[in-house]
Structure 1
């Protein structure tokens, strides 16, 4: 396989896509939802459909409608701190997928940039990437706490931040992800997307999103480039 010459960067979601990590997303989602309720967001207003990788957009939207500006700041700051603690619990168990680092090196050999766009916090992302010997192979890392919460995935603004930092356009990026959030972020930003099944979503989940799985993993993608 040859990459489309329009691409100037190949970027990745981190957990479940680039790295095999062990974050307890169920625990994280429950903490996030409980904090929303504590701050006065009714259960009926909370969207739990993204429970594997928490999304607090529904809580923020409720607080905006009810003019609870101070609570909007609190919900982001409080949940981010609690999520960080959960993310850091099992950093030592993180492993790169087969081919992760060789793929990043290969992409650079093509003269392209590499990036990671994750909903993980920066401290956690840098820790696991460094442990897996991948951090030095990444040209740009965009983490959850680098920008306001509402600019994180699935917002296309997250991909625009990546493009700006790499000095490319969003349609010059190829992005890999394991979750519907990744796909929606890429799609709304005009970024080409490749789905993998090594993380939260399996083939039937991608089918529901209308996404065809071309490669089960970045390992398979790496092998296709080497063939």
Structure 2
């Protein structure tokens, strides 16, 4: 007898959720901040440790000092770092078998702050791109995660599925914050539990293996 699903759709983060990313996010963040500080957009005492690359760029935009040419240079820096880190990236353990089990039971999408074209290339190279109905990158967002705009973009493709009938899965507090603001339940994967608590990001649970996802998606026997 087929088990009943608690959710009708799942949205996955990509880096360090589906793929074992080698992107050096701390280095990219330092490079971006160094540029912004050098241009006088952000001050030397800016609390860099409280920010991700995404929130750092949003803070720069919010300062009103970020020129279009400077932002273009920043994105060049980010894209270079993403390409370097995604080269040869492998799947997280058990991802193929879990996606195959879920296929046909729930609609599956990907939401990443990376460029959409790079995400599709990585998912194609690792053999899982066909599992997803939609793949949204930063081009589909009004603002990067933790903004819910990318998530709301995906939800708009499924007007018959309520937000609380979705499940979001990711490794970072910014994934959880986007889900929270979009009204979607969030499941943390290999995440820093303390960081979620510190930032008041609610989760329905924490998993250490992708195999545990089925325990949250399917009702018990």
- CA-atom RMSD, angstroms? 2.6
Change (3 A) 1:221 1:108: same
- Contact kept? 1:17, 1:196, Cα under 8 Å: yes
- Contact kept? 2:11, 2:108, Cα under 8 Å: yes
Q: Which residue in 1 is equivalent to 2:111? A: 117
Change (3 A) 1:100 1:225: same
Question: Equivalences for 1:148-187 in 2 at 5 Å?
Answer: 148=142, 151-167=143-159, 168-187=161-180
Q: Which residue in 2 is equivalent to 1:26? A: 26
Aligned-partner Cα distance in 1 for 2:100–2:15: 19
Q: Which residue in 1 is equivalent to 2:12? A: 12
Q: Which residue in 1 is equivalent to 2:194? A: 204
Give the superposition deviation at 1:137.
1.1
Aligned-partner Cα distance in 2 for 1:156–1:224: 22
- Aligned to 1:191, the other structure's residue is in SS state coil
- Contact kept? 1:23, 1:86, Cα under 8 Å: yes
Change (3 A) 1:76 1:140: farther
Task: Indicate yes or no: 2:195 matched with 1:193.
Answer: no
- Contact kept? 1:176, 1:196, Cα under 8 Å: yes
Stretch deviating more after TM superposition (101-110 or 173-182): 101-110
Change (3 A) 1:46 1:101: same
Question: Equivalences for 1:49-88 in 2 at 5 Å?
Answer: 49-51=49-51, 53-55=53-55, 56-63=57-64, 68=65, 71=67, 73-88=68-83
Aligned to 2:206, which of 214, 219, 224? 214
Change (3 A) 1:217 1:53: farther
Aligned-partner Cα distance in 2 for 1:93–1:223: 30
Q: Any gaps of 5 or more consecutive residues in structure 2?
A: none
- Aligned to 2:48, the other structure's residue is in SS state coil
- Aligned to 1:115, the other structure's residue is in SS state strand
Give the superposition deviation at 1:207.
3.7
Aligned-partner Cα distance in 2 for 1:105–1:29: 35
- C-alpha distance after superposition, 1:18-52 (max 9, x if no partner): 11111010121012212322442132574424545
TM-score under structure 2 normalisation? 0.83
Aligned to 1:97, which of 85, 92, 96? 92
Change (3 A) 1:163 1:178: same
- Contact kept? 2:11, 2:111, Cα under 8 Å: yes
- Contact kept? 2:108, 2:134, Cα under 8 Å: yes
